[in-house]
A and B are shown apart, each in its own frame.
Chain A
Amino acid sequence: MAEKLLEIKNLKQYFNQGKPNEVRAVDDISFDIYKGETLGLVGESGCGKSTTGRSIIRLYNATAGEVKFDGVNVHGKKSKSDLKIFNRKMQMIFQDPYASLNPRMKVMDIIAEGLDIHGLTKSAKERKDRVHELLETVGLNKEHANRYPHEFSGGQRQRLGIARALAVDPEFIIADEPISALDVSIQAQVVNLLKELQEEKGLTYLFIAHDLSMVKYISDRIGVMYFGKLVELAPAEELYNNPLHPYTQSLLSAIPLPDPNYERTRVRKSYDPASHNYKDGEEIAMREVTPGHFVFCSEREFEALKLTSAARV
């Protein structure tokens, strides 16, 4: 088995805790991310997938649970220098390429901000060369360094966001819906770029999205979230070919595919959480149905799922 880069254990993120309007955005989820893989996280808006990403990178202080990066807990008290070391290893690419770049800074300074903070370059020339190199890595050219963000298209801006994330040589990148705001033809460019960079630099990704066909394309494993809970986690192919949780099934049946014949016959399933008929005292947890395929279910459902999976093989 590959090495674990990130271990997320019983992570909880509650907002307005203890008040009547308490929101359990992330409610007790656990999963691991292995070195060099891409873990996709899908679910509808409000299910807590972005919050999960933001809690992992410590943009929020987790309510409970722990996030271990290379064996060290991300949350909890940290000295400034420890935090700095950690911040270099983990970077984020944001959803909105229009809002995530400071409009009053030049591209040069946007990308070099991380370099400056961590003191990674010694001279002004080295700084400039590094930025030029980064721009070329993401498919832009060095003339772009002296421009402002408004001079770029959406796809180009997302490339700038990627260059900024790469500047400090991170090991792990959280991409929070990096392509949702882009055109189809440009989406493919950005996704290909992310894949190339992963091969080149051995990066690990957490790829958050609601576009399931893209997620399947880029991910090795996929986790499905529903109302703050992780309901299914499986290798990408397995999840699409053999979805076990009824919510995953409904989500997959809702994707329109660019194939009119398929569309004419597609039947959409809807998901009703009441259909589980959980009794009081039943323990619902992530259980491994087939190797690597986890489903959030009760003991009773687990036995039934194991039987059907065995029959399928």
Chain B
Amino acid sequence: MEKILEVKDLQLSFHTFAGEVQAIRGVNFDLLKGETLAIVGESGSGKSVTTKAIMRLLPESSSEFKSGEILFNGKDLTKLSDKEMQKIRGKDISMIFQDPMTSLNPTMTIGRQITEPLLKHQKVGKTQAKKVAIDLLRMVGMPKPELRIKQYPHQFSGGQRQRIVIAIALACNPQILIADEPTTALDVTIQAQILELMKDLQKKIDTSIIFITHDLGVVANVADRVAVMYGGRIVEMGTVDEIFYNPQHPYTWGLLSSMPSLDTAEEKLYAIPGTPPDLLDPPKGDAFALRSEYALAIDLEQAPPVFKVSDTHFAATWLLHPDAPEVDPPLSIIERMKKFPGSRYYEGVAR
């Protein structure tokens, strides 16, 4: 598969009054054409900052690219001028934000907001742009689009507004769509509709999607591959099956165990103890070591390198080092691993 975006050793800091916040500390990943990559992690893990860095939406006065590059079709986005970036943003790479209530302009009709990227990036006239806008609204499932493009955001419900935001993001058939928690503010029924819509549209226009969320149910639903972020780094990355049925990093174990499942009635929910690391003064070794019962002595000394589990599956934990003791993951994780051929707990018949 063709790589459309490559992020290589990205490091980014914010300068604040309290000092330098090392928000991203060496992030590497590729995005393939037509795939959905989900980035999961808790608040402050750097998932939103990573995508905002790709879109170059971070304030230049306080943020600084320390090193690394973001290659999009061979161009390094970190080195582009504002003018050059404006030609890419909203056209080749577009973004859907978390909160549909605040990401639309309340003083503009939605028709104007949808035609804005069309008029800016494509050589179309006003009447043509309006036609496209109506088609887009129809595509995202809005009834009576001819009438509704004259209305203002407050006349729409939350789910409808998110559909409008999606329509705007898709107006120029972008190659990459970044969705930053697009369904977190919505109800489950509306969320299911929006996710189905995004998957349909992806098939139609073959966009690659970077999907940020902390809801693992949503990840299981939409993702082809998953990157788990913690403390400004990607700690584990693999296909959706590898992450859900053969997770290797203790943080991934914790995340998966802290979601209650509908079919079992556990007595006590597993909660990851403690709080996320302070990136003003990031820990020397593995950032998760202080919250992990699986931490080894070396975790406090030295950050783990990335170990390869399979051709598509990588994890940064010392537990994968040949010299590391063999540990048993939590019970609920072993239950998951039983379903994964190639895991040492696999209980099926080997093919």
Contact = CB atoms under 8 A, between A and B. Distances in A.
Interface stretch (A96-104, A206-214, A287-295, A300-308): A206-214
A217 B214 CA distance: 19
B191 to A, nearest CB: 7
A64 interface: no
Interface stretch (A25-33, A109-117, A255-263): A255-263
Interface stretch (B54-62, B122-130, B254-262): B254-262
A187 B196 contact: no
B269 A191 contact: yes
Contacts of B214: 183-184
Given A192-B268, A212-B188, A213-B261, A258 B339 contact: no
A121 interface: no
B64 interface: no
Interface string A189-210: 1011001000000000000001
Contact of B262 (A45, A185, A216): A216
A189 B260 contact: no
A257 B220 contact: yes
Contacts of A261: 241, 339
Nearest to B241: A260
Interface string B82-93: 000000000000
A212 B187 CA distance: 10
A263 B192 contact: no
A266 B262 CA distance: 14
A254 B159 CA distance: 15
Contacts of A45: 158, 187
The A interface is mostly helix, strand or loop, or mixed, namely helix
A59 B42 CA distance: 34
Interface in B301-341: 339
A41 to B, nearest CB: 14
B158 to A, nearest CB: 7
**Size category, A interface:** 35 or more
Contacts of B259: 184, 213, 258
Residue with the greatest number of chain B CB neighbours at <10 A, chosen from A184, A187, A217, A266: A184
Interface in B186-242: 187-192, 195-196, 214-221, 240-241
B270 interface: yes
Contacts of B271: 185, 188-189, 192
A135 to B, nearest CB: 16
Interface string B239-268: 011001100000000111011111001101
Contacts of B218: 256
A44 B190 contact: yes
A240 B260 CA distance: 14
Contacts of A184: 42, 214-216, 255, 258-259
B244 A183 contact: no
B275 interface: yes
B261 A258 contact: yes
A10 interface: no
Given A185-B271, A185-B272, A214 B215 contact: no
Interface of B: 42-43, 158, 187-192, 195-196, 214-221, 240-241, 244-245, 254-256, 258-262, 265-266, 268-273, 275, 339
